Amino acid sequence: MSHHHGHSHRTRSSRALGLVLALTVVYTVAEIAGGLLTGSLALLADGGHMIGDSVALGLALGASWLAGRPATPKRSFGYRRAEILAALANGVALVAIAIWVFAEAIMRLDHPPRILAGWMLGVALAGLGVNIAAAGILARVSEENLNVQAALRHVFADLAGSAGVVTAALVVLATGWRQADPLAGMAIALLILGSSWTILRDSVAILLETTPAGIDAQELGRRMAAAEGVVEVHDLHIWTITSGFPTLSAHVLVGRGDDCHARRRELEELLRSEFGIEHTTLQVEHAGESEGLQITPLRRRPR
C-alpha cells in the first residue's frame, strides 16, 4: 500500500509538473515576443526569468521521473535523492535569478526604457493569469514533495514578477514615471531571495542526513529505551532519504530470555504510530551476549 501510494503520488506530481512546464514555456515565448514588440525591458527581463524557471521545471520533471525508477543492487534506494538534488539546484537558481534581477533593476534606474505601457500591461496581466493557474496546479500535489515545492516557489517568483510588471505598467500609464519599473524589480528580487531560503535549508539538511524536521531524536531514543523489555538503545541514526521518507536504524539490547522478534515488532509499531517512521532497521540482541571475535593473550612458555 505504501509503495502504491508513493508511486501514485509521483505520477500526479509528474503530470502536474509537465502541465505547468507547458504553460510556462508557451507564456515565456509570448512574453519575450511582447517585450520585443513593446520595447519593454521589464517584459524581456521577466521573460529571461521565465526561461530560467522553465529550465528548473524541466529539471524537476526529470528528477521526478528518476525518483520513480526501481532500485538496483548498486542503488538500493533507487534514484530518490535525485529529487533533493533537483530541489537544491532550484534553490540555487532562485538566488542567481534574484541577484540578476537586482543588478538589472539598478542599471534601469539610470536609463529607464521608453515602453508601450498599455501593451506591457496586457502581456503582464496574461502572465499573472498563467502563473495563478500554474500555482493552483502545483499546490494540489506539493504537500509532501520537496521537489514540487521547489517548482512551486519558482512559480510564486514568476507570480511576483508578473505582479511587479503590472504595477510598474499601471504607474507608468498613470504618471509617466518610468523609474517605477526598476524599483518594482528590486522588490521582486527581495521576494525571490526570501522564497529560496526554505528550499535551500531543507534540501541541504536532507543531503547532510540531519534528523528530519518534526522529530526529536532524544525524545525518540528515550521512548525506545523505555519500551517494555528494552535494556539499552545505541547506534541510533535518523535521517531522510527523500521528502516524506524518514529512515531509522538502531542497535537494541533486550533482557536475557526475551523474544527479540516480538520486541522488534513492538518497537517498529511504536516508531510508526508515534513518529511516522515506517522504514526501520533494528538490530535486536540479548544483553550480555558476547559480540565479535574474542582475543585472549597467549601464555608464555616457561624457559
DSSP sequence for 114-131: P--HHHHHHHHHHHHHHH
Please state the φ and ψ torsions of residue 138, each to the nearest 5 degrees: -75, -35
- In 3D space, the residue among 238, 289, 237, 235 whose CA is nearest the CA of residue 260 turns out to be 289
Rounded to whole angstroms, how far apart are CA atoms 277 and 98? 37
In this structure, the chain runs to a length of: 303
Among 1.10.3470.10, 3.40.1640.10, 1.20.1510.10, 3.40.50.1360, what is the CATH number of 2-207? Answer: 1.20.1510.10
Q: Which residue has the higher pLDDT, 89 or 68?
A: 89
* Max Cα-Cα span within the chain: 110
- Confirm whether 2-207 and 217-286 share one CATH topology: no
Instruction: Compute the distance between CA of residue 202 and CA of residue 118 in angstroms, rounded to an integer.
Output: 41
The CATH fold of domain 217-286: GMP Synthetase; Chain A, domain 3 (3.30.300)
Distances (CA, A) of 52 to 21, 60, 116, 215: 12, 12, 25, 35
Distance CA 269, CA 67 (A): 27
Measured CA to CA, the distance from residue 84 to residue 287 in angstroms comes to 39
Amino acid at 246: P
Q: What is the pLDDT of residue 109?
A: 85
Amino acid 9: pLDDT: 57
303 vs 158 pLDDT, higher one: 158
pLDDT at 88 > cutoff 50 = yes
Enumerate the domain spans of the chain. 2-207, 217-286
Q: What pLDDT, in 10s, does the model give residues 129-183?
A: 999 999 898 888 766 566 677 778 878 888 888 888 898 889 989 998 888 877 8
Question: Regarding predicted confidence, which is higher, 202 or 280?
Answer: 280
Q: What's phi and psi for 231, nearest 5 deg? A: -95, -40
One-letter amino acid for residue 34 of the chain: G
Distance CA 188, CA 36 (A): 22
Cell of 158: 514568476
Per-position DSSP letters for 93-111, written without gaps between them = HHHHHHHHHHHHHHHHHHS
Which pLDDT belongs to residue 10?
Answer: 61
Asked if residue 5 has pLDDT above 50, the reply is no
Specify the pLDDT at position 233: 94
**pLDDT tens-digit readout, 223-266:** 999 999 999 999 999 999 887 789 999 999 998 888 999 999 99
> Which grid cell is 257?
530470555
SS3 254: strand
User: Which of 22-31, 41-50, 71-80 is most confident?
Assistant: 22-31
Q: What angle do CA 195, 196, 199 make, to 5 degrees?
A: 105
What is the per-residue pLDDT for 77?
78
Could you please report the per-residue DSSP string of 163-196?
Answer: HHHHHHHHHHHHH--TTHHHHHHHHHHHHHHHHH
Q: What is the pLDDT of residue 297?
A: 53
